[in-house]
Structure 1
Amino acid sequence: MEADNMAGGKEPRRLPVWACIPLFIVILFILLGLYGALARGCLSLIPGGVEACQPDVEARQPGVVGYIILEASMLLAVLTAALPMLRLERRPFSDLGLSLRGHVKGLWYGLLMAILLYLSGFGISLILGEIEVTGFQFEPLELLGSWVFFLLVALFEEILMRGYILGRLLHTTMNKFAALFVSAALFAFMHIFNPEIAFLPMLNLLLAGVLLGASYLYTRNLCFPVSLHLFWNWIQGPILGYQVSGNNFTTSVLTLRMPEENVLNGGAFGFEGSLICTVLMIVCTILIVWWGEKQEAISLAAPRSC
């Protein structure tokens, strides 16, 4: 049952969630194919640009530009798919949660949480001897390019999974935590073909979806999850030198060596494949939900004028 249709018939009747989400995904896949073909056409005009489609090739600057072009086409596709669906459902574009007004602090909180997660996770891994730093290099243009790329990744995945899918589920009578779990499961499934995927990385991707979506339950805004997603990936890969969900997109500031690939350091999948990551994400999710429930309780307890 749709929650929006329960207010005495005042709200216009809309497509049920079981129809609109699959329709949205079909439209998105069509547009991904179309825009992806156009992006690859652009890449063919860039010397070395085709390397962006070959993660095993050592990334150079044209490769970073290629990644940016491909990811920009995916972001354009999800926005283009969302527009007709929102119109069909008679919902404003603001329902995607992209507004900065009143939510700028969420950008800072996302950055802060990403830093704290990696200060803890990277520090624990170093202390336990699960990783070793063997090199250092600083390439500012490559670092800037990777930041832009991961910003596009964060925007695409957060608009898709939290802004549209989770947001749509929250407009139904489904329990909000059940809706969060469904969107997180879809988020994890989206990475099922990543290199080096296994049970623990899939579990952590599910937990990452819960972590990224938890704040959205209470704010209906993407500033915090986009910022956390961006800096999670950027710090993990281009700065610290881990694989990012099994992928190696660009060069990194630090060069890491793992004496042994295991569940404590994440092995070839990167930090997201580690038990340390599992524990940290559970703790952070609990803190976000505790904060959100506390804010809701304060809001409900506040006196309202007639």
Structure 2
Amino acid sequence: MCYIVKKNRVPLWADLLIFLVFLFIASLIGVESTLSLIGSTEFESVKYFFLSTIISSIIVLLAILLQHYVIDKRPLSELGLCTTHFVWKHSSMVVVWTFIVFVIGFLICLLSGNVSIVSVHWNLKDLSLSLLMFTFGAFYEEIIMRGYLLTRLCRSGLNVWLCLIITAIIFSAMHLANPNVNFCSVVNLFLFGILDGCIFLYTKSLWVSVIAHCAWNWIQGSIFGFKVSGCEFFQPIINLDMPSYNLVNGGLFGFEGSIICTILLIPFIIIFINLLSKSIAKDEFQH
């Protein structure tokens, strides 16, 4: 296993139930806090969404720390919050592969006539704000899905691959309410959940999976101008036009709704599954 399994103070079902209660309360507090600050129920403005993301991230982190560290008395290292000298090496690696995926995907869409460049726009403020927002958003989802849930399932003694599948299914289900979601986008979100879960378990660092998740969203949205999971927030560097919405360009959901995304994700998943398998075999041999 990727984590040494020790006896749990709380049964899995009770642990997850407590966590869900904390998560629900934290989400309500996040929404109420945002509403009290903006004095409105309208979330169409990007700055309101930005504020909600930051508040929710902070509150959910506190809830998870309370559940994991105080109630269950587990070390913070199990959440992947500790850093090692390998973090930046692995982070650089995942940023590079993410950029490669979108360069290839963008060029295929461009050369096949499925997207065209309308204009190129450089706005440092938009790029910085979008990077900050995607960082908080990635942290919010990763601390829940990989830092807490995946770790807790692995600690319960379930097969690590089953744990990855369960969390990837939940991760993709979290996005079912997003605009213009389709079958291909759900499949790609599931595949990305598998990939990011493998990255987390292999590197044993939440920071690497957060950076991978943030880079995935920021590069496709803020650089190449695709919608991110059906949403658009800030002015991208490249403004795109799509002559038609199809499975090649991903349509209104963005590149994550593209069959090209599916094809490009698979080899990286195979690579990280292989790396993780070797890591698991090594850990089992040592123990």
- TM-score higher than 0.5 here? yes
- Conserved? CA contact 2:91–2:211, under 8 Å: yes
Deviation of the 1:94 alpha carbon? 2.5
2:48 to 66, 78, 95: 66
Q: 1:93-112, aligned counterparts within 5 Å? A: 93-102=76-85, 103-112=87-96
Using CA pairs under 8 Å that are at least 6 residues apart, name the structure with larger relative contact order, 1 or 2: 2
1:50-74 Cα deviation digits (max 9, x unpaired): 77x11xxxxxxxx554333211111
Deviation of the 1:80 alpha carbon? 1.7
2:33 to 24, 38, 61: 38
1:92 to 61, 75, 81: 75
1:62-93 Cα deviation digits (max 9, x unpaired): x5543332111111121121122112222022
Instruction: Please tell me the root mean square deviation across aligned C-alpha atoms, in Å.
Output: 2.1
Q: Which has the larger radius of gyration?
A: 1
Deviation of the 1:264 alpha carbon? 1.1
Q: Does 1:188 align with 2:180?
A: no
1:207-250 Cα deviation digits (max 9, x unpaired): 11111111222332112211111111111112111110001111
Structure 1, unmatched stretches of 5+, are 6-10, 55-62
Q: Does 1:17 align with 2:12?
A: yes
Runs of 4+ in 1 over 3 A off after TM superposition: 63-67, 294-302
Q: Quick one: distance in 2 between partners of 1:188 and 1:300?
A: 30
- Conserved? CA contact 1:64–1:146, under 8 Å: no
* TM-score after normalising by structure 2: 0.91
1:163 to 141, 144, 147: 147
Identity %: 34
1:293 to 255, 277, 280: 277
Q: Measured at CA, do residues 64 and 227 of structure 1 come closer, stay the same or move farther in structure 2, by a change above 3 Å?
A: same
SS in 2 for 1:170: helix
Structure 2, unmatched stretches of 5+, are none
* TM-score after normalising by structure 1: 0.86
Q: Does 1:77 align with 2:72?
A: no
SS in 1 for 2:52: helix
- Conserved? CA contact 2:115–2:240, under 8 Å: yes
- Conserved? CA contact 2:118–2:240, under 8 Å: yes
